[in-house]
Structures are given as C-alpha cells and as structure tokens.
Amino acid sequence: MILGILSPLLLSPDSPEKDWRSRENGFPIYKNGYIDQPYVVVLNNRNWLCVFTTGAGSEGTGGQHIVCSISKDQGKNWSKPLNIEDPSQESASWGMPYLTKYGRVYVFYDYNGDKIHSLRNQTNIREDMLGWYCFKYSDDNGNTWSERYRLSVRTTKIDLTNDWLGKVQILWGIGKPVNVDKGMMFGFSKIGKYLIDESEGWFFRCDNINIEKDPEKLKWKMLPEGENPLKNPDFGLIQEEQNIFQMNNGDLYCMYRTIMGNPACSYSRDGGHTWDVPQVPSFYTGMKIKNPRACPRIWKCKNGKYLFWFHNHGGWNFENRNPAWISGGIEKDGKIIWSQPEILLYEQDIAKRMSYPDLIEQDGKYWITETNKETALCHQVDADFLNNLWNQFSIDSISKKSLILDMVPADLVNNEIELPELNSIDAVHGITIDFTINLPDLSGGQVIIDSRDSGGKGLVIETADYGAIKLSLSDGNKTSKWTSDQGLIKAFNEHEVTIMVDQGPGIIMFVIDGIFNDGRDYRQFGWGRFDNTMNYIGEGKLRLTTLIEGKMRSKSKITSLKIYNRCLTITEAVGNYRAWKNKMSNIAVNKQSDN
C-alpha cells in the first residue's frame, strides 16, 4: 500500500490540496515575449510596485524596455504595465527599484545612450548591456516618472580593453539596491568582452539618497576605489551578478556567480571601499555550495536572518535552473553561516528555467517573485517552511508528522515487515525511508530493504560501490534509480540513512548522518530525478534481506526503521539524525557509568 503514494493518479483532479512550491500555483505578474528581473518594493501606501524588463521579442531583441506594475492585494493581481522607458531602438534594461525613507522610488537601469548597434562587421547586435547606467524616480507611487539621469561610471582597465576600447562601456546589474547605514548601495558587473565573456564586480553607494531630494545633489561613490574590482584571479574570467546586504554588525556581504560550478562570496569591513578576496561559500557542514552560471540571489530579512536562492548543482553554463533551492543564513562571529538547502520552487517541465527572483515581506508573510523569461510569477512562501529552515542549525528532534512506521531493534527480529493499512495518503509530497544500519561489508549489491514482487514491481535499497547506497523504484514497466554520494558509509560504523522521494518535482535525495548529498567534487548533481508519472508500484511486505539460493545476500544489521508517507524536508532529516546521535551518545555514557 505505501508504495502507491508515488503515483500522482492517487490525487483527484479536484483535490483542494496544492503544493505551494509548484510554479504553476503562482500568481501571474506579466507574460510577454521576454520578461526579466521582476523586482518589488512595498510602497508606503502598502501597495506593491514591481519593476521589470520586457519586450515583445526574445531577450536582447529590439524594443526591450523597463516598466512597472502595481498590486493592491499582495501579488494576486497586477495592473497593466506602465512604461518607465518607452520601447525604442535603444534598449533600456535591468531595472532595479529602491524606495527611499520619504517615499520616493528610484529605478536604476542600463540604457544604450551611445546608440551602438554594430560591432566590426556585425549589425543589429544585442545592445542591452551597452552604454550608460541611468536612473529615474517617481514621487507618486510609480504613476509618473522623472526625466532620465546618468550615473558617472568611472573608466577602469576592463573598459579600456573591451571591444570599443573604453569608448563604450558594457555593464549590467541584478541586485536590488539595499539600505546601507543611512544611505543605499547596489552592485553591478562590468564586462570586458562582448557579450559577457569577461566580467568583474563594482558598486555604487549614495549616502544622502534618503534625505536629498534634488537628484543633481546626490553624492555617488563608485567602489572599490581605483583599479580594484571585486574579483578573485583564481576564479576565472566570469565573476558577475554581484548582490549584497548589510549584516547586523554593519559589515557588507556579497554573493555572485562564476562558471566554476560554485558561487563566490566576499565581505567588506569598511563600507565597500575594500573587500576580502572572494571565496567559495560553504554550508555549516563545511560542504562547498554549488551553483551553475545562474543568479545566486541573497536577501536580509526583517528578523535579521538571511536567505539565499541558488540551484544546487555544479554546472558551468546557463542550464538546469529548475528547481530553485533556498538556504537560510544566520550571522555568527562576523560571518554568514548557511544552512543545508531545501527545494523552494519547481516546474514540471524540467527544461524550463526560473531565475532573477526577489523577496517581499509584509505582515509577517513572505513572497518570492521570479521569471522563466516569458512569464513572471509571484508565490507566497510558507512562513513555517522558512522558520524551520533557520531552525536547522539547532534542531535535534524526530519528526512525527506522517510517520506511519517506526521500528526499533526489538521490532526488527524478523526479516519481513508488515506494512500498515493507510486510510489517506499524502500523494503530493512522496515518501521518506529513514533507517540506521551497520555494514561490516561495503561490497556493492547487498540488498538492505526490498519490496519487489515477481514482476519486479516495488522498491529496493541496496549497497552500491565505494560506500554508497542505491534506491531503485519500478512499476514493472518504468524504473528509476539514484545513488547516494560515495564514501559516506564506513564499514563497522553505524549510520543513519534518510532517503527522500519528493513527488512534486520528481526528485530523490539522500541525507546520510545529517549531511545532504550534493555530489561533492565527484559529480555535478547529488540529487537525482525519477519518473513521477510511474503507475502504482505495488504493495505488500518489506523484506530486510533477500534470499538467493538459500543464502542471505546482505550482512547488514538494520537497527531502526522509519517510513513517512511524505517527503521530509532536509531540516527534518537533520533533526532525526541529531536526535538519534544524541540518544546513542547518552547510551554510551550510561554504559560507561555502569562499568
């Protein structure tokens, strides 16, 4: 019975239950040939103002311009977009809004003010990253906009070596401006070779923007000073899409993308004038965070904690931006400590990409906006989901929700386990199998848990090579498999293995001894996809070993077994492990005391 929960057919089409993580459940902001960077500020009248880049054609084609739209009901409905820059031969792109303390909204963006449309023998080139950094402002909540103003972007070495030898600059930004001290600051990327084959980070800071209403008197600083961009020479030519926040201790933190398979981060202790040499960020476990050439977006929340959107695999190109993952951050000893990740959003079509998100907070609630470059959507995020993510650093309790089988050593004396009858099944969220095991022999092919029938329908968990665990699922026609990271299972050691099958995005994940398997340095993906259109894959008994010619194939000793009729979060798996580890530690202490 339990294995049937893999089938989406168990859900009625009229079921009121929806997975908020599914992209299709978001509220549309706008749809067009191209739409990007839907960034939101919450106005003083409580309405939301969303600024985005759009055009009738695909990205980089003619007529690309920036617009704004208003929502009066927290993202459910949006007004018809109003042009901030009219569509024309010169592109206006990558608008980033900022709300001052007195209610004015500024928008900073790229504009092809040099009217460049050719390069060498090429005509009608993509020109949405060429030219000027500009801004406009609105004093009436986005209904009308000022004339265009231009920021003075200091010429640096990367400009002088670009395709126009510095006569034209190539640049863009993705990080919404943030409050820094009493002023504002945002990051942007300069490009040294058309289109984006070399890049580095810079920042604009304005300390009087919240008090000075005359735009001609705003005091701008381009940082870092001199010829010192934010860049690590060891990280290659692509270092771009810098975005920042100010930490609780006053320091600045920056995250950006590379093509190493990892993002990069850096700290400034002097307001952005100088920066530490960028490093690859890590989870609190010490595992390096992975991200392809995709936007690694960070935010500071009103509770003083942090969030980080990324894509959790080690690719180098623009692909595989589905699903989106999120990590929670806390500040400790002058550093940002990141939690292990959770799936935030997914789309059934795995070829679809979602990126360039923004975070909105209002009335203790959270929303994410994002785009797949054709449709921008707004999603309310479960506040409990985020609070649990931040609690991952200390959680040490066993999850009881949807726990349908909980067996201790005394229950595991027999090789076969009767599965409970289920009156209701959480088919949206999949299953979790959590067990502790001691393996004296690490050779591959040892069956640990098996429910397959004579036709091969069911699931089997077995050892794989080099200290790994493999899960296989089959409905008799289709089979899906995924293997944990290698080297995590040690002979004669007791380990907790949590295998999570997430029905919504169709993803299998492993957590072993509280560590999420992300592929480490050995493979691009630590999580794998399964076919979530599989039919019902059987019911019956779970066998802890399989008899082959009268002999047990497995020498394993399972010491506990839990089964959930939903996919646990990574945080819950960590809590299960810590609770088990604490229990084992207490038992060891008591035994020592008895001796």
Tell me the pLDDT tens digit for each residue of 150-181. Answer: 999 999 999 999 999 999 999 999 999 999 99
Residue 536's pLDDT is 66
What distance in Å separates the CA atoms of residue 352 and residue 129, rounded to the nearest whole number?
24
Per-residue pLDDT, 412: 85
Please indicate, yes or no, whether the overall pTM of this predicted structure exceeds 0.85. yes
Q: Residue 522 above 90 pLDDT?
A: yes
Q: Which residue has the higher pLDDT, 555 or 81?
A: 81
Contact by Cβ (8 Å): 187, 171 = no
Q: Compute the distance between CA of residue 19 and CA of residue 23 in angstroms, rounded to an integer.
A: 9
The number of beta carbons lying within 10 Å of the beta carbon of residue 276 is: 14
pLDDT for position 227:
94
Burial-class residue 180 by CB neighbours within 10 Å (0-12, 13-18, 19+).
buried
Counting every residue, how long is the chain? 595
> How do residues 581-595 score in pLDDT, each as one tens digit?
999 998 877 777 676
What single DSSP character describes residue 247?
Answer: -
442 token code pair:
């690490």
Using DSSP's 3-state secondary structure scheme, residue 583 falls into: helix
> What local confidence, expressed as pLDDT, does residue 595 receive?
64
With 0-12 / 13-18 / 19 or more C-beta atoms within 10 angstroms meaning exposed / middle / buried, residue 437 is buried
In the chain, the percentage of residues whose pLDDT exceeds 90 is: 85
DSSP secondary structure letters along 198-233: SEEEEEEEESSTTT---GGG--EEEES-SS--B--G
Token look-up 């509770």 returns 303
Reply yes or no on whether the pLDDT at 481 is more than 90: yes
What number of CA atoms fall less than 13 Å from residue 159's CA on the CB side?
Answer: 19
All domains of the chain in start order, with CATH: 23-393 (2.120.10.10), 399-570 (2.60.120.200)
Mean pLDDT over residues 431-440, rounded? 94
From CA 356, how far away is CA 75, in angstroms rounded?
Answer: 17
Percent of the chain with pLDDT over 70: 92
- Quick: pLDDT tens for 105-122: 999 999 999 999 999 999
Helix (H) or strand (E) holding 359, with range, is strand 355-362
DSSP string, 344-357: EEB-SSTT---EEE
Contact between 329 and 308 under an 8 Å Cβ cutoff? The reply is yes
**pLDDT at 238 exceeding the cut of 80:** yes
pLDDT band at 4 (very low <50, low <70, confident <90, very high): very low
pLDDT, average across residues 478-482 = 95
| pLDDT tens sequence across 325-371 | 999 999 999 999 999 999 999 999 999 999 999 999 999 999 999 99
Are 263 and 289 a contacting pair, CB within 8 Å?
Answer: yes
Q: What is the pLDDT of residue 422?
A: 41
- For residue 65, give Cα distances in angstroms to 59, 113, 462: 11, 13, 55
Question: What pLDDT is recorded for position 548?
Answer: 42
CB 497, CB 434: distance < 8 Å: yes
Mean pLDDT over the full length of the chain: 92
